[in-house]
Amino acid sequence: MLEKEQLRGLYVLTDATLTPAESMLEQVERVLKSGVKVIQYRDKYASDEEAEKQCIRLQALCDVYEAIFIIDDRLEIAYRINADGLHVGEDDVSYEEARALLGDDKIIGVSCYGDLERAKKYASLGADYVAFGAFFPSPTKPHATMVAPEILQRAKEQLSVPICAIGGINAENIEQLSCYDIAMYSLISAVYKDDAIEENLEKLQAKI
């Protein structure tokens, strides 16, 4: 049974470059063995066929470790493989369309950038978490607009859904956000760098 209360802690994403298809499963298993409970498949370049194959394997792996598996943007795949959830951004499939297809028991998270009104809107419509950022320059999203960390304080005061921080977060800067005591921290590069997944996650975990 999917526990939405698990939407806490480090939220680790895959990446077309840092977790290539041939090593993705092994890398994600190392992440799960380190205690991470939320995983997202994010690959804007893979074909639907390739993405679906990977997502089937990742969902099965997350089931073994009792972790939540979320797919970025690819609604049809999330529906077909009965994934735990979907993450949508401004240019992706709409939250309303995703909820209508996936149903109320699936997790849907929404990117809100620096827009608190957007977050309030989707929280009121039933989004399971809202994500703000980028807070720092990100190697995987170099053109993302920067957002001031203080928005997390305002979001905490005005929202009751879990709040996620995203964008360029690493062991050197995560404490600038963890002081706001939010639910989740979305990570890519900081986890996989130097192929030291276990050590990287231990350092990050210690700082939240």
pLDDT exceeds cutoff 80 at 135: yes
List residues forming the annotated binding site for Mg(2+).
73, 92
Tell me the C-alpha distance between 69 and 11, whole Å.
10
Segments forming the whole domain that contains residue 112: 4-206
* pLDDT over 70, % of the chain: 99
The predicted-structure confidence for 1-35, as pLDDT tens digits, reads as follows 567 789 999 999 999 999 999 999 999 999 999 99
pLDDT of residue 2: 62
CATH of the domain at 140: 3.20.20.70
- Mean of pLDDT values over 159-176: 97
Mean pLDDT of the residues in the chain: 96
pLDDT of residue 144: 83
Tell me the C-alpha distance between 183 and 198, whole Å.
21
pLDDT of residue 139: 77
pLDDT exceeds cutoff 90 at 141: no
> Residues 111, 88: contact at Cβ < 8 Å?
yes
List residues forming the annotated binding site.
40-44, 72-73, 92, 111, 138-141, 168, 188-189
The predicted-structure confidence for 105-117, as pLDDT tens digits, reads as follows 999 999 999 999 9
* pLDDT over 90, % of the chain: 94
Could you tell me the pTM of the whole model? 0.96
Tell me the C-alpha distance between 92 and 95, whole Å.
9
pLDDT exceeds cutoff 80 at 140: no
Number of independent structural domains in the chain? 1
85-88 and 68-72 strand pairing: parallel
The one-letter code for the residue type at 175 is E
The one-letter code for the residue type at 153 is Q
> Residues 72, 87: contact at Cβ < 8 Å?
yes
| Cα separation values, 120 from 60, 124, 130, 163, 204, Å | 33, 6, 9, 11, 29
pLDDT of residue 142: 80
